[in-house]
Amino acid sequence: MQRFQYYIDGQFLDGEARFPSVDPASGKEWADLPEAREGDVDRAVNAAEQALYDGAWSKMTATQRGKLIYRLADLVAANAQKLAELETRDTGKIIRETSAQIAYVADYYRYYAGIADKIEGSYLPIDKPDMDVWLRREPIGVVAMVVPWNSQLFLSAVKIGPALAAGCTMVVKASEDGPAPLLEFARLIHEAGFPAGVVNIITGFGASCGAALSRHPKVAHVAFTGGPETARHIVRNSAENLASTSLELGGKSPFIVFADADLGSAANAQVAGIFAATGQSCVAGSRLIVERRVKEEFLTLLKGKAEAIVIGAPLDMATEVGPLATRRQQEHIAALVDKSVQSGARLVTGGHRPGGEGYYFPPTILDCDGVNSPSLVNEFFGPVLSVVSFETEAEALALANDTHYGLASGVFTQNLTRAHRLMKGIRAGIVWVNTYRAVSPIAPFGGFGLSGHGREGGMAAALDYTRTKTIWLRTSDDPIPDPFVMR
């Protein structure tokens, strides 16, 4: 059993308790993890506050902060394969994806390293003849970051990178499911030379760790990625400390295919959108909305691709779909597929858990045309695609917006004017046209509705970790006039 520690105030510690981590490919325990509880959380937040206001970090220039982030980026790149293997082992995500994704994570840190000394204030042309007024942008404070198990090194980078660029300090809570890569990442923070307390990384359970962190009186902002139900708890907790929040939540993202689309390209994108990462992606294109006259042709194409997918050991480079991260996720997906079939959905392919070890579930397609299926409403967070058809563009748009979520969407058409109409009409934070699941550190992402609020990525994310301070300087030497009149 590999043993991991958490990282508080520049030290690697065992914590108040321990718990095991399970390898999703075998269902067997493989690692021993530290369980942070309220005392550990308090220690981590206090360390972050000390670093923010009194430590070496508080005295660094923005350029010096940027150089540290550049050093971290280089270390991530140098250790990408080791981190990838850990993430694959602990979450079941296939090695061919974790390897590529974590190598790209280094570019996110490089992007925010460059932004660190480009977060500017402003001079206000104030309406008083004897006043100079400026706006300063300062760190928002101690940030609590709650990160899920899926793509955790990426989903932490889009929080840690901009927060460091803005000059914040932080406590990062890794998910209790598969936290080993983030706990290992702490060693890179340490090696890069960040002052003690700037980045603290812990893991633990929601009731004893997450709740204590999100309601802590010294936390100024909570950045969360996960599901809406947990987000509601975080928002309630933030009423205790009046912390601001940014919430990147799930979705039931529409994937619209018109008859004039390149169907082969659209099918490849749909496979990437729902079966890549075993469907465990917040932007998964889980609702296929296809024009009726090409529906059967497109379904036949998709069925062939789904059944050709290589399911296997996540550390094998030939594997295209690995196991789900947890047994409860496997059971949830199986139950929801069964309920959908019972409600009238037609099982096109997949749908049945294989025997043997591990938390596997095959790529599954449900034809839900004309059926009020649970699969069209509920987020699976797994490799399950629900299909409906449409006749007109207006019907396609109505189906796309028939959800309380609004994170991502895809549109496949060769008609440019139609694409522009749909870009404007779809209520989602991301619209991909003739592509899907593309990301960049330069481009922000985030959702509408139950998919949350706030943005990650781009300059906007760095500004979200700042607050403005207004500076008034009176330039007149004359005595202040009537003190009982606001001027």
Per-residue pLDDT tens for 317-366? 999 999 999 999 999 999 999 999 999 999 999 999 888 899 999 999 99
Residue 127: per-residue pLDDT: 96
Please, are residues 194 and 68 in contact by the beta-carbon 8 Å criterion? yes
- Each residue's pLDDT tens digit, 235-245: 999 999 999 99
- Each residue's pLDDT tens digit, 363-403: 999 999 999 999 999 999 999 999 999 999 999 999 999 99
- Each residue's pLDDT tens digit, 272-296: 999 999 999 999 999 999 999 999 9
Does residue 122 come out as left (phi exceeding 0), alpha (psi in the -120 to 50 range) or beta? beta
Please, are residues 406 and 282 in contact by the beta-carbon 8 Å criterion? no
Residue 257: per-residue pLDDT: 98
- Each residue's pLDDT tens digit, 6-52: 999 999 999 879 999 999 999 999 999 999 999 999 999 999 999 99
Q: What is the 3-state secondary structure (H, E, C) of the chain?
A: CEECCEEECCEEECCCEEEEEEECCCCEEEEEEEECCHHHHHHHHHHHHHHHHCCHHHHCCHHHHHHHHHHHHHHHHHCHHHHHHHHHHHHCCCHHHHHHHHHHHHHHHHHHHHHHHHCCCEEECCCCCCEEEEEEEEECCEEEEEECCCCHHHHHHHHHHHHHHHCCEEEEEECCCCCHHHHHHHHHHHHHCCCCCCEEEEECCHHHHHHHHHCCCCEEEEEEECCHHHHHHHHHHHHHHCCEEEEECCCCCEEEECCCCCHHHHHHHHHHHHCHHHHCCCCCCCEEEEEHHHHHHHHHHHHHHHHHCCECCCCCCCCCECCCCCHHHHHHHHHHHHHHHHCCCEEEECCCCCCCCCCCCCCEEEECCCCCCHHHCCCCCCCEEEEEEECCHHHHHHHHCCCCCCCCCEEECCCHHHHHHHHHHCCCCCCEECCCCCCCCCCCECCCHHHEECCECHHHHHHHCEEEEEEEEECCCCCCCCCCCCC
248 as an active site residue: the answer is yes
pLDDT at 431 over 90: yes
CA 248 to chain CA centroid, Å, is 6
Of the candidates 105, 69, 75, which has an alpha carbon nearest to the alpha carbon of residue 191? 75
Query: Is the pTM here over 0.85, yes or no?
Result: yes
Residue 453: per-residue pLDDT: 96
Residue 342: per-residue pLDDT: 96
* DSSP β-ladder status, 244-248 and 254-257: unpaired
Please, are residues 196 and 417 in contact by the beta-carbon 8 Å criterion? no
Instruction: Classify residue 311 as exposed, middle or buried by CB count within 10 Å of its CB (0-12, 13-18, 19+).
Output: middle
- Any residues with CB less than 8 A from the CB of 251 and at least 6 apart, and which? 282, 283, 284, 286, 379, 403, 405, 406, 407, 408, 428, 447, 451
Residue 19: per-residue pLDDT: 96
Residue 481: per-residue pLDDT: 86
Q: What is the average pLDDT score of the chain?
A: 96
Residue 138: per-residue pLDDT: 97
Tell me what the mean pLDDT of segment 169-183 comes to: 97
- Among candidate residues 87, 248, 291, 320, the one labeled active-site is 248
Say which amino acid occupies 425. G
Residue 170 backbone dihedrals phi, psi, to 5 degrees: -155, 160
Quote the percentage of the chain above a pLDDT of 90: 96
Tell me what the mean pLDDT of segment 86-95 comes to: 96
Residue 355: per-residue pLDDT: 82
Domains of the chain with CATH codes? 2-249+447-471 (3.40.605.10), 254-433 (3.40.309.10)
Specify which residues 199 forms β-bridges with.
170
- Each residue's pLDDT tens digit, 177-235: 999 999 999 999 999 999 999 999 999 999 999 999 999 999 999 999 999 999 999 99
Residue 179: per-residue pLDDT: 97
Tell me what the mean pLDDT of segment 406-424 comes to: 98
Does residue 151 come out as left (phi exceeding 0), alpha (psi in the -120 to 50 range) or beta? left
Q: Which two tokens stand for residue 437?
A: 């699941």
Please, are residues 3 and 161 in contact by the beta-carbon 8 Å criterion? no
pLDDT at 1 over 90: no
* DSSP β-ladder status, 28-35 and 17-23: antiparallel
pLDDT at 468 over 90: yes
